[in-house]
């Protein structure tokens, strides 16, 4: 099982014969992809974006090809997933999790293209007619009440019915009184600006000590927020359950876990109300279906994390379409320059805060190499715990 078997009959899609990686530079972050081809002329794409380590994910993807992919049948997703995980002795970690996720997406893309159906038809079919999304990244600029309120109104004006934001600046562990007041005032201003019918989600970025998170979450209660996301570091996972007992605000999290094994303590401790696996980090379709099923046994809903490219938005729409306990999908698509969509041909458009069901075979997105060549990687970095990070200078 831990070596490529080239003697079994194949489905007709052929065997994997080539694995490439491409990275597109943008002012937001570099977007990386793995493209897998078969000897029958089929091609599939998956996203392997890491916000700070694009070289490492691309290198590991190419190394994975030599060890586990070349010669394999692209329909053997379960075995390939296990071969990459067990064969490389992975025990979690972002780079490995991202590569396994991207390869799994690309394999499903090949399968859908071979069969002539969208990926969601391969993983359960449609549970809904469209996929609801929320906006993130809309609040770039000065961290003041007027800017946040105006930008929230603008985001709602283009059709979003849900917004997420981090009002806490560079705060870590504890906030000074003035900083805490400003953060809560920003939430209050956004709520007043958009009215009672828009869902607001507050991002904690795993920043706070338990006593500070408890203080903040109680201050958030009057503003009817849909969730408080990652209020605590994941090294303090037991404290999540205690925090849930202090408040009526739902607690969300899970984006930093890379497979169902890492999710086990989250489920065992009852850490969150809403689970947020990332299709490009937590194992691809093969693994997210299992994580969603585990959440469903606990009557928990799924709100997939997505801080990556529009490719990830479209790829995750397939998962959302086929997942019964799906809630809403994150997207940063609105802050990206037009050439990103030219490089990723076929991404689904966001209209009225929703994505349509995908129609093209596979994931439905093709990489346009010429645009990648025009926009090479920047290898940039921005520090989430540095004052002014939320401005996201995209000049």
CATH code, domain carrying 183: 3.20.20.120
pLDDT given at position 7 = 73
In-domain check, residue 93: no
Q: List, for residues 25-64, the tens digit of each pLDDT value.
A: 998 899 999 999 999 999 999 999 998 899 999 999 999 9
The predicted model gives 370-392 an average pLDDT of: 81
Residue from 18, 45, 5 nearest 280 by CA: 45
Residue 328 pLDDT greater than 50, yes or no: yes
Residue 395 pLDDT greater than 60, yes or no: no
pLDDT given at position 389 = 65
pLDDT given at position 5 = 74
Domain residues for the domain of 225 are 121-363
In-domain check, residue 19: no
In-domain check, residue 137: yes
pTM for this model (two decimals): 0.94
Number of domains in the chain: 1
pLDDT given at position 72 = 95
Give the separation between CA 65 and CA 263, rounded to whole angstroms.
27
Catalytically annotated residues: 205, 305
pLDDT given at position 87 = 82
In-domain check, residue 376: no
Q: List, for residues 203-252, the tens digit of each pLDDT value.
A: 999 999 999 999 999 999 999 999 999 999 998 899 999 999 999 999 99
Averaged pLDDT score across all residues of the chain: 94
253: left (phi over 0), alpha (psi -120 to 50) or beta: left
pLDDT given at position 88 = 82
The predicted model gives 358-371 an average pLDDT of: 98
Give the separation between CA 342 and CA 192, rounded to whole angstroms.
37
In-domain check, residue 372: no
In-domain check, residue 159: yes
In-domain check, residue 269: yes
């Amino acid at each position: 099982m831990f070596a490529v078997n080239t003697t079994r009959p194949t489905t007709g899609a052929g065997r994997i014969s080539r694995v490439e990686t491409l990275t597109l530079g943008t002012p937001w972050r570099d977007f990386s992809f793995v493209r897998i081809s078969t000897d029958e002329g089929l091609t599939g794409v998956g996203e392997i974006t890491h916000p700070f380590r694009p070289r490492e994910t691309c290198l590991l993807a190419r190394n994975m090809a030599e060890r586990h992919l070349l010669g394999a049948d692209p329909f053997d997703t379960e075995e390939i997933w296990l071969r990459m995980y067990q064969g490389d002795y992975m025990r979690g970690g972002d780079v490995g999790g991202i590569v396994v996720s991207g390869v799994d997406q690309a394999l499903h893309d090949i399968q859908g293209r071979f069969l002539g159906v969208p990926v969601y038809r391969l993983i359960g079919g449609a549970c809904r007619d469209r996929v609801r999304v929320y906006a993130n990244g809309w609040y770039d600029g000065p961290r003041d009440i007027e800017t946040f309120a105006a930008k929230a109104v603008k985001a709602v004006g283009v059709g979003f019915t849900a917004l997420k934001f981090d009002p806490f600046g560079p705060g870590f562990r504890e906030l000074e009184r003035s900083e805490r007041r400003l953060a809560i005032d920003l939430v209050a201003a956004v709520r007043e600006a958009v009215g009672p019918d828009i869902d607001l989600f507050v991002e904690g970025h795993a920043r706070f000590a338990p006593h500070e998170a408890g203080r903040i979450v109680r201050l958030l209660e009057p503003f009817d927020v849909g969730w408080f996301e990652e209020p605590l570091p994941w090294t303090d996972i037991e404290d999540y359950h205690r925090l849930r007992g202090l408040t009526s605000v739902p607690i969300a999290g899970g984006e930093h876990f890379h497979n169902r094994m890492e999710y086990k303590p989250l489920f065992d401790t009852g850490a969150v109300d809403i689970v947020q696996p990332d299709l490009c980090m937590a194992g691809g379709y093969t693994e997210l279906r299992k994580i969603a099923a585990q959440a469903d046994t606990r009557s928990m809903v799924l709100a997939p994390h997505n801080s990556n490219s529009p490719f990830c938005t479209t790829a995750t729409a397939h998962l959302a379409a086929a997942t019964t306990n799906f809630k809403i999908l994150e997207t940063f698509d609105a802050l990206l320059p037009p050439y990103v969509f030219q490089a990723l041909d076929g991404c689904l458009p966001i209209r009225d805060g929703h994505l349509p069901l995908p129609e093209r075979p596979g994931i439905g997105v093709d990489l346009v190499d010429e645009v990648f060549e025009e926009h090479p990687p920047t290898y940039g970095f921005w520090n989430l715990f540095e004052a002014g990070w939320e401005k996201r200078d995209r000049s």
